Each structure stands twice: as structure tokens, then as C-alpha cells.
Amino acid sequence: MMALPLHVFSRSAMLRGSGLAAAAFLLLGAPAGASTLITGAMVYDGSGAPARQESVRVENDRIVAIGKLRPHKGETVIEAKGLALAPGFIDSHSHHDRGDYADRAMPQLLAEGVTTIVVGQDGESSGAFADISKQFTTRPAAVNVAAYTGHGYLRSQVMGQNYKRVATVSEIQAMQSLLDLDMKAGSLGLSTGLEYDPGIYSNHDEVVALAQTAADDGGRYISHMRSEDTAFDAALDELLDIGAKTGIPVQISHLKLGIVDRWGDAKAVLAKLDAARARGIKVTADVYPYEYWQSTLTVLFPKRDFTDLSAARFALTHLTTPEGMRLGVYAPAPSLVGHTIAEISVQRHEEPAATYLWLIQTAEAWRSAHPGIEPVEAVIGTAMAPEDVADFIAWPYSNLCSDGMIVSRHPRGAGAFAKMLRVYVREQHRLTLPEAIRKMTSLAAENVGLKGRGLIRPGYKADLVLFDPDQIADRATVEAPGALAVGVSDVMVNGVLVYRKAQTTGNYPGEFLKREGQ
């Protein structure tokens, strides 16, 4: 093999002129079978330990050595003095598969160092695990993908359109059989979206039975609980009871207090979770670093009565505000996208609650007239207190997630991980840099059951991100939700360079991952 040139850059040289773009020359794509030595970086290994200046050697798709290493003959050497080298970030709750990876390069993710996404969330699955795994393997993306099996998917397969009721024993057994097939194919476990159709119509026994199937196969349970607002305590009790009865690890999806009346209660919630862990319940959580969510207009109506003016008024008073509800998708009238319920109500000369109901009723009618076309509507709702979000993020057992998607009005799809480092490390000092990285790497891997990723250790897959901890920052906003983060110079996935000079490389080495033990 012809020897590759040695590239040496100092940090001061890299930050001159074009800034971090120049730093992207650090990681050079090496041919399959080649060896790369990264030297001079401050290595944050993902464990939460302080950084150490040492070298990391990558061969093929794995990390093979760490320490004071000398270059091998013909080896590509990367001098990264002054930059941070960390395991690639893991997004444990995402919807980035929507659109079937239309842009396989996933630039919004790579620009903030994300190398693995976990899908199948909120009870949603796009198909049987074996099928979606095969589809991705046939046409991979730049990042790795792992998946849960969605409870809503199982319900739709077994119950069809007749889902607005409790499942029968035979239907639960049929769902268990489908789940068992997915588990044996490598699914991480069971996900539920108990605030959404069709999961909202299930009872506790149904969910426990399915969680037991996942537990028997060595899987996990992750849940968008039945309520994140008025019935939060009962919803949390249900999740903890599932963990207690089945022994399965239970993860709260995007932990939040989405009700004005409960703002400031985060510490009490965390005390309850700590007490549950002390009793042996393996409860964890993921959190995204924003005070606003994105979901359906209907999510704040647990009784699904879209003619109830008092329910609409309650939602716009206690759960959010008319100014805090901004349309992200609206198929019946795309011109309304980006406008708030408050603004639309002024146009319609009516109170915001009436406008809220009109928007839902119009969307439901449009959906009936255009079957199979989704999404029909989505809304961004401001509903959380910043102090609660910070407390939830700082909990030792919570990892970061985005709950985002590539094409969305919500900036979390392109900014969550960079915002974590900008806000909670540099600005608020709620977390040290090593701890923040742990929450985005090894803890995320542990909480979802991924093996061999999330740490810089010999034998682990070479998912790596090189970035400037003083410069990394999110740029995505509601007005510009796809704006790329800055501060990440280079990203490797399975030993292959996928991000260079702040540009995607056109390499698609992502793998479809199976849970630990498969």
C-alpha cells in the first residue's frame, strides 16, 4: 500500500482564516483495511472521566488501541491538538427515519456529532423489524440506526381500524407473537405512545403483557406515557408498575412537566424516580433541551372530544397558551404553517379556543377525504419551564435525545446535541463537559441496550466526533429549523469519514444495529 501523507495542524492554525472549516482536514477518509492514528486530541472517552491527551488508533471499523502510540509505517496520522475527541453521539429517541432517509447524508445530524439514531418511538413502527432492517441495509445512511417495536404498529396489524377499544385476550396474544418475532430479529424492545391513537385505547393489562414478552426476550420498554400534564402522576405510576411487575428496564420518553400548574416540580418527580430505583425498578429517562414540544393538535384532548370548548380553553390556559401553539404542518391550509393559534384566531375574529377546535375539525375532515396522506397536521407547543428541563437533564440517569426529525419546524432535529453543550455546559455550568458527553454517548447506549458503542475503548466501533468544545453551538430556530450546528469538524461512523470540512462526504457506512446480546 502506498504511504499516505502525514498531516499536522496546530489549533491556532486551524482556527485562522476559515475557522473550523479548516479543521475538517484533520480526518482523512482512509481506504478499507487501512489504519488511522488520531493524536494530540483531548480524549473524552464517554465514561464521564476527565479528558486525557492520548492517541487513538482505528483499524477498519474499530478502535484498536489508546495511549502513547507511535505511527505505523504507511498509517494515516491525524494531529488534532487542542480539539476534543469523543464517541459519536447517540440520539436515543428520534424520528429521523421519516421520509425514508431521503437525504442519506443526514447533514443536520453530522453537524452536531450524532452517529447513531434510535427510531420506532412513541409506539410507531414502519414495519416488521426484519423488513426495516433489510431495507436500511440495502440502502444505508451515513449514520447507524437501531429500532424499537411500536405498540401502535402491533395494534394496527392485529386490530386494524377497529382499535378504539380494549384488545381481547386473543388479540393481545397475536400482538405478543408479532413482538416476539421482532425481538428475535434484534428489536431493542417495546415502545408505546399511550397519549396517541391507537395506544390511548389500550388498558394497563395489555401493555404489561406485551412488556413481559419484551422482558422475556431480554428487551427494554420505552414510553411516551399516557399523560405529560394533568394525569402525569398516574401515568408515571403506570410506567413504574410495568417495571416492577416484569423486571424490564423502563425508560421515560422525553421526560417533561407539560402543565403550567406543575412547573417547578421537577425535583419532586426526580425524588420519586430515585425512590423507585432504590426499590429495584430500573427506570431511566431521555430529555430534549427545549421548553416546547412538537406533536398533533389533538394530543391535549385525552377524551378525543374535539367539540369540547371547555377542554380547548383548559388546554390553552393550563397546558400551553394560544401564543405558544404554532402550526408546523397543516395540509388543509399550508399558508397557516408558522402561525400561532393566537394569530389565526385574530384573523377569524373568534376566541382562541374556538379556533383550536376549528383547526382540529378541519384537519380531521381533510384526513378523511385524503386517506393515507400523512402528516396532516402538527403543532409546536410551548409548555415547559426552563428550570425543570435543566433539572431533568442533570439527573444522573437521564440521557439526551432530540425527539426530532430532519424535516420539521422544531429546531431540536438539528440542534439538540449542540445546544446541550452550549447551554448546559458553557453557559449554565449545570454539567461538566465529561458528564455531558457521557449523557450523549455511553449512558444513551446503556439506556437503550446497545453494545460496543458509546465509549472510546479497544474493541468498540469507531464512531467518533472531533469538535471544538469552546465553539460548538446550535443554530437551528423555529424560523430556521434546519440550520446546521457549528463547531464539529469531523465525524467517523464505523471507521469511515462521513463529515469533512463541514461537508458530508457521500459515504454511507451506517449499520442497522441489534440490541445487546443479539
Mean pLDDT of 340-361: 98
Mean pLDDT of 316-343: 96
| pLDDT given for residue 32 in this prediction | 46
Q: Does 90-288+385-444 match 7-87+458-504 at the fold level?
A: no
Q: pLDDT tens digit string along 182-194?
A: 999 999 999 999 9
Cβ atoms within 10 A of the Cβ of 223, count? 27
Enclosing H/E stretch for 114: strand 114-119
Average pLDDT, the chain: 92
Angle between helix 169-185 and helix 129-138 axes, rounded to 10 deg? 30
**Please, are residues 249 and 370 in contact by the beta-carbon 8 Å criterion?**
no
Mean pLDDT of 209-227: 98
Q: What string of DSSP letters covers 155-186?
A: HHHHHTT--SSPPPHHHHHHHHHHHHHHHHHT
The cell for 174 is 397475536
Enclosing H/E stretch for 275: helix 266-278
| pLDDT given for residue 6 in this prediction | 28
**Please, are residues 224 and 195 in contact by the beta-carbon 8 Å criterion?**
yes
C-alpha–C-alpha distance, residues 375 and 372, integer Å: 9
Q: pLDDT tier at 517 (50, 70, 90 boundaries)?
A: low
Residue written as grid cell 446546521 = 484
**pLDDT exceeds cutoff 50 at 298:** yes
| Sheet strands side by side (includes 377-382) | 292-295, 377-382, 325-330
Q: pLDDT tier at 244 (50, 70, 90 boundaries)?
A: very high
Q: pLDDT tens digit string along 1-55?
A: 333 222 322 333 333 333 333 333 344 444 445 799 999 999 999 999 999 999 9
- Helix (H, G, I), strand (E, B), or coil: what is residue 500? strand
Domain layout of the chain by residue ranges? 7-87+458-504, 90-288+385-444, 292-383
Instruction: Tell the CATH topology of 90-288+385-444.
Output: TIM Barrel (3.20.20)
Residue written as grid cell 388498558 = 203
- Helix (H, G, I), strand (E, B), or coil: what is residue 366? helix
* Pick from 509, 418, 503: nearest CA to 24: 503
| pLDDT given for residue 288 in this prediction | 98
**pLDDT exceeds cutoff 70 at 492:** yes
Residue written as grid cell 453530522 = 110
Of the ranges 22-36, 284-298, 393-407, which one carries the lowest mean pLDDT score? Answer: 22-36
| pLDDT given for residue 14 in this prediction | 33
**pLDDT exceeds cutoff 80 at 386:** yes
**Please, are residues 354 and 307 in contact by the beta-carbon 8 Å criterion?**
no
| pLDDT given for residue 163 in this prediction | 97
**pLDDT exceeds cutoff 70 at 232:** yes
Residue 248 phi, psi dihedral angles, 5° rounding: -75, 145
Q: pLDDT tens digit string along 436-464?
A: 999 999 999 999 999 999 999 999 999 99
7-87+458-504 belongs to which homologous superfamily?
Urease, subunit C, domain 1 (2.30.40.10)
Mean pLDDT of 137-145: 97
- pTM of the complete model: 0.89
The better pLDDT of the pair 28, 197 is held by 197
| pLDDT given for residue 408 in this prediction | 86
Cβ atoms within 10 A of the Cβ of 483, count? 16
Q: pLDDT tier at 79 (50, 70, 90 boundaries)?
A: confident
Residue 353 phi, psi dihedral angles, 5° rounding: -65, -40
C-alpha–C-alpha distance, residues 6 and 476, integer Å: 36
C-alpha–C-alpha distance, residues 274 and 284, integer Å: 10
**pLDDT exceeds cutoff 50 at 253:** yes
Dihedral sign computed on CA atoms, order 441, 514, 255, 382: positive
